[in-house]
Amino acid sequence: MSQHWSEYWEQGHLTSFGTDFSSNYAGILKDIWLPIFKELRPNFEVLDIATGNGALPLLLKNYFDESNINGRVRGVDIAKIQPIKFDADNSIKIELIGEVNCESLPFSDPVDLVTSQFGIEYSNLSASLKTVANILKTGGRLSLVCHHHNSMIISRNKQVLLLIQSVTTKKLIEKLYSLADSMGQVTTKVDINRIKNDQVCEVLRNDINQLIGELYESNEAALMDSEILNYVTTFFKQGLYWSVDKKNDYLKFVQKQLSDLALRLEELVCAAIDETKLASMLKILSNERVEFVSATTLKSTDAQLLAWHFIFQKALK
Ligand SMILES: C[S@@+](CC[C@H](N)C(=O)[O-])C[C@H]1O[C@@H](n2cnc3c(N)ncnc32)[C@H](O)[C@@H]1O
């Protein structure tokens, strides 16, 4: 399951929201962390679970950049990751380690704070929460921003999933393959005139327009989120003079992107936390002497539900 995440992180994204937060989390998904970071004392140790390309460690480093507090944040992720390089001289040391399952960590240095943003809920919580509880110092905190089963993120992505798995999307890709074949090699203006006047190409172009219209009518927002329109535009613009083989390779790439996206979205929907899962998290943690502090919901500026925010603390005795 980590393969599609490895491929996603290899593309250089900083968060799992693609271009939505291209230069790191902002708004409430950033602000929620500032009071948590503020509690850290010099020489702190932080562990970020399911860190991806290190968005949260980077937020923490930026928070402490102006201070003279030093500390270390280690991030782990089950996927292969491609984090940006951090300055080794900085007073905040960042170590990001890929191909590490948070259900059983390869180190046991006690930490003051364990964090996760849309991460730990993808793991087997019975195992990962026990592991986290064992690594927390007495009095140490566990702060988790997790997917909420009723959030707008989940409902929006369920719509994207429906759209990319629809018969209409499959037909659209098939028609693009047929058009690539029917166009043949396009290298000159004469070829452009030829394909403009070609009956088969004309019918295929109309079919493609109609299918895009259907996707648009069925769910405009999901169509925009899915990147399908960008792929089609690339095919017709940059791809116009590509060889038939290159066009076919590009369409294979698009199919792979869409199937990886579907896998990530299916996992996302399964990972979301409802009240029953929350109750079982509380039970697992309290068995490990990690006490519940708070569960709040995060909302966007237009009052849409975004996520849960849970805080727990390792019992003093
Ligand atoms: C939605 S992404 C979030 C990444 C990052 N926290 C962020 O906010 O950008 C979920 C991540 O969880 C990772 N993951 C899933 N199961 C995991 C596990 N058992 N152990 C460690 N990481 C895991 C995936 O590889 C993926 O990178």
Residue 149's pLDDT band, with cuts at 50, 70 and 90, is very high
Q: What pLDDT score was predicted for residue 229? A: 97
Nearest 10 degrees: Cα torsion 151, 298, 65, 90: -50
C-alpha of residue 274 to centroid of ligand 1, in Å: 19
Higher pLDDT among residues 84 and 295, named by residue: 295
Could you tell me the CA-to-CA distances from 139 to 37, 108, 310 in Å, in that order? Answer: 15, 17, 16
Q: What pLDDT score was predicted for residue 65? A: 86
Residue with CA at minimum distance from ligand 1 atom 19: 123
Q: What pLDDT score was predicted for residue 253? A: 97
C-alpha of residue 261 to centroid of ligand 1, in Å: 14
C-alpha of residue 151 to centroid of ligand 1, in Å: 19
Tokens standing for 129?
A: 């929460």
Nearest ligand 1 atom to the CA of 50 is 22
pLDDT tens, 265-305?
A: 999 999 999 999 999 999 999 999 999 999 999 999 999 99
C-alpha of residue 308 to centroid of ligand 1, in Å: 16
Q: What is the mean pLDDT of residues 168-181?
A: 98
Q: What is the mean pLDDT of residues 94-113?
A: 96
Q: Quick one: CA dihedral 174, 179, 184, 185, positive or negative?
A: negative
Tokens standing for 189?
A: 């203006």
Nearest ligand 1 atom to the CA of 8 is 27
Nearest of 167, 163, 205 to residue 183 by alpha carbon: 205
pLDDT tens, 30-69?
A: 999 999 999 999 999 999 999 999 999 999 999 998 788 9
Q: What pLDDT score was predicted for residue 19? A: 67
**CB-defined site of ligand 1, < 6 Å:** 2, 5, 15-16, 50-52, 55-56, 76-79, 101-103, 117-119, 122-123
pLDDT over 80 (residue 21) = no
Q: What pLDDT score was predicted for residue 83? A: 83
Nearest ligand 1 atom to the CA of 102 is 20
Kindly state the percentage of the chain with pLDDT values over 90.
Answer: 87
The residue whose CB lies within 8 Å of the most ligand 1 atoms, and thus the one to mutate among 5, 6, 32, 125, is 5
Q: Is 15 helix (H, G, I), strand (E, B) or coil?
A: coil
Q: What pLDDT score was predicted for residue 278? A: 97
C-alpha of residue 142 to centroid of ligand 1, in Å: 16
Q: Quick one: CA dihedral 136, 46, 130, 291, positive or negative?
A: positive
C-alpha of residue 80 to centroid of ligand 1, in Å: 10
pLDDT over 80 (residue 228) = yes
pLDDT over 90 (residue 20) = no
Tokens standing for 112?
A: 């003051």
Domains in the chain (CATH in brackets) are 2-151+272-314 (3.40.50.150), 154-268 (no CATH)
Neighbour count for residue 50 (Cβ, 10 Å): 26
pLDDT over 80 (residue 2) = no
C-alpha of residue 99 to centroid of ligand 1, in Å: 11
Q: What pLDDT score was predicted for residue 175? A: 98
Q: What pLDDT score was predicted for residue 1? A: 55
Helix axes 244-271, 152-164, angle to 10 degrees: 140
Q: What pLDDT score was predicted for residue 218? A: 96
Residue with CA at minimum distance from ligand 1 atom 4: 52
